[in-house]
Amino acid sequence: MKVQFLDLGKQPIANRFITDSEKDSEFFYNLTVGFDNSSKLITHMDYVDPPMMFNESYTYRGSMSNTMVQHFKQFSENFKKSYNPKSVLEIGSNDGVFLKNWDVDTTYAVEPCGNFAKETNELGYVTYHDFWTRTLSEFIKNEHGSMDLIFAANCICHIPDLDNTFQAVEGLLSRNGMFVFEDPSLAQMINTNSYDQIYDEHPHIFSVIALQNILSRNGLTIVKVDNTPVHGGSNRIYVQRTSDVVSIDASVRSNIEFEHMLGLDNIETFIAFAKKVEQSKKDLITLLTRCKQLGKKIISYGATSKSTTVFNYCGIDSSLIDYVIDTTPEKQGKYTPGSHIPIINTNKINSDVDMAYLGAWNFASEIMTKESEYVNRGGKFITHVPLVKFI
Ligand code: JHZ
């Protein structure tokens, strides 16, 4: 049974950046989050229908950040050295940021967003334009046989039905094959108060504890966990069919012990988290309002899904933030979902800006290196992670 602990209010589709004419007809839903008593999963009380989010007009491009390009390159090189997989499938291949590290002849992909499926098909990777399900997994097995590596980055936590998802993986893995997936870590979200990891596309935020419960009831076992710094702290989970498991790395136990210590198996932890989220909202509005009263020009850096949650939950609009800058061509010239702040086409912070709220706080170091001129002239960055403050 799910017990609600957090209400982030009315929210729009986080990655649907809108045009002027769409401002009056936006879709909103209630973003409420609960704790599932039996599996210990943190999950939305109600799910947004996936085709509402993942379709032809999806805008998020993984390769817009050099950090992520390097992250997938490094993982691919290491995995090839250790396991040398002969067949690879990626679930949720986006713009091919991971795929590009693998051989076109033996690497397949699944992507529900038509614009990106087209793009990676054109690169030569056979890409199924569909949602990941048992039916699709069986179809791929008939076409190409079973897979030595099934990979998914920032994808599994996007899928409402986890049992179907994991059964589909279990059926397609080759003998001794490995399923590797990475998503934002619940432990890091709680530790850094980064409640903006929660939006329509993230119906679940995973703990290793919850994943172990759900994977094991689907014939799968976690054999290793890597903690990676990307996206504010993610876990990379290595999984095998339970019947194939030979040994389990010590990282599985240490992560689970750490999570027990944080109380991630206990609703009280999340009730306390919800109170901190409310405080964060108050602090951010106070800081932005005071700076505005002092006549400061404030912009936002990175038109992220995360900032859709923050702007709509805190009621931040263009009266506080003049505009947003983002390098993604598909987002430029549009408005932020719900809050309707214009997204400007510029690669650098303009010289008249005093402060920049970091919508992409997870890329703070990459952004601050790029914006050294702004930093050197005394420009300030604002974040709410882990506390509302200037950097
Ligand atoms: P970024 C998305 O979340 C959505 P978002 C998704 N649901 C998910 O799980 C995560 O990604 C992984 C821009 N940028 O990665 C590019 C600059 O403009 O934090 C992006 O639009 N200049 C799939 O949207 C945005 O910021 C820069 O120098 O919260 C970053 O978005 C850099 C580094 C980024 O993900």
Instruction: Report pLDDT digits (tens) over 39-59.
Output: 999 999 999 999 999 999 999
CA gap 94, 113 in Å, rounded: 8
How much distance in Å is there from the Cα of 119 to the middle of ligand 1? Answer: 19
Instruction: Report pLDDT digits (tens) over 363-390.
Output: 999 999 999 999 999 999 999 999 999 9
CA gap 189, 212 in Å, rounded: 19
Ligand 1 touching residue 302 (CB < 6 A): yes
Our mutation pick for probing the ligand 1 site, out of 116, 326, 343, counting the most ligand atoms within 8 A of Cβ, is 326
Which amino acid, residue 136? L
CA gap 78, 101 in Å, rounded: 11
What sign does the CA torsion over 235, 187, 200, 58 have? negative
CA gap 381, 124 in Å, rounded: 41
Is residue 345's pLDDT more than 90? no
Our mutation pick for probing the ligand 1 site, out of 68, 305, 358, counting the most ligand atoms within 8 A of Cβ, is 305
The proportion of the chain whose per-residue pLDDT surpasses 90, expressed as a percent, equals: 99
Residue 372, number of CB atoms within 10 A of its CB: 9
Is residue 189's pLDDT more than 90? yes
CA gap 170, 175 in Å, rounded: 10
SS3 164: helix
Mean pLDDT of 95-121: 98
What sign does the CA torsion over 123, 126, 128, 134 have? negative
Our mutation pick for probing the ligand 1 site, out of 55, 363, 368, counting the most ligand atoms within 8 A of Cβ, is 363
Which amino acid, residue 204? H
Atom of ligand 1 nearest to the CA of 301: 18
What is the side-by-side strand order in the sheet with 42-44?
2-12, 28-36, 42-44, 204-205
What sign does the CA torsion over 324, 329, 335, 336 have? negative
> Can you give the pLDDT at residue 346?
85
CA gap 205, 211 in Å, rounded: 10
Checking DSSP bridges between strand 42-44 and strand 28-36, what pairing results, if any? antiparallel
Mean pLDDT of 156-168: 98
Residue 52, number of CB atoms within 10 A of its CB: 12
How much distance in Å is there from the Cα of 60 to the middle of ligand 1? Answer: 7
Q: Phi and psi for 133 in degrees, rounded to 5? A: -145, 170
CA gap 272, 284 in Å, rounded: 19
Ligand 1 touching residue 93 (CB < 6 A): no
Is residue 338's pLDDT more than 90? yes
CA gap 331, 17 in Å, rounded: 6
Checking DSSP bridges between strand 234-241 and strand 220-228, what pairing results, if any? antiparallel
Instruction: Report pLDDT digits (tens) over 264-321.
Output: 999 999 999 999 999 999 999 999 999 999 999 999 999 999 999 999 999 999 999 9
Which amino acid, residue 356? A
Nearest CA to ligand 1 atom 33: 65
Ligand 1 touching residue 108 (CB < 6 A): no
How much distance in Å is there from the Cα of 306 to the middle of ligand 1? Answer: 8
CB 308 within 8 A of CB 338: yes
Beta bridge partners of 30: 10
Residues 6+ apart with CB under 8 A from 225: 208, 235, 236, 237, 238, 249, 251, 252, 255
Is residue 352's pLDDT more than 90? yes
Would you say the pTM of this structure is higher than 0.95?
yes
